[in-house]
Amino acid sequence: MQNIELTYVSWATTALAVGYAVYLTMKAPSEDPAKKRLNAKIQLDKPKVVDTCDIEDIKGKGVFCRCWKSSKFPYCDGSHNAHNDTTGDNVGPLIVNKK
């Protein structure tokens, strides 16, 4: 009788371990907030988005996007306002003033 109980416990433990392993394998990466993409539309074909702006080219001030939603990236087009309204986030641009 004890061997039958051990067999059931052994099967249950194995099934639990296999089920958990399958869950970890199938779990979508988007469920982990640390692995969620910020950039959903800008130069997605590149491994890294890098932009350069010479300070001499800025007239008065440069307003640069930090939310990755701008259609004029790397410049801010105000899209962060809709993003903040939708998500409750508080992102905004980097403003560089030229004196």
Across the chain, the runs of DSSP E, i.e. the strands, are 61-64, 94-97
Q: Is 62 a binder of ligand FES (CB under 6 A)?
A: no
42 close to 73: Cβ distance less than 8 angstroms: yes
**Cβ neighbour number for residue 11 with a 10 Å cutoff:** 10
| Site map (CB under 6 A) of ligand FES, residues 16-45, x = contact | ------------------------------
Q: Is 62 or 70 the residue whose CB approaches ligand FES more closely?
A: 70
Is 98 considered catalytic here?
no
Phi, psi of 22 (to 5 degrees): -65, -40
The residue ranges that bind ligand FES (CB under 6 A) are 65-67, 69-70, 76-80, 91-93
Active site residues: 48
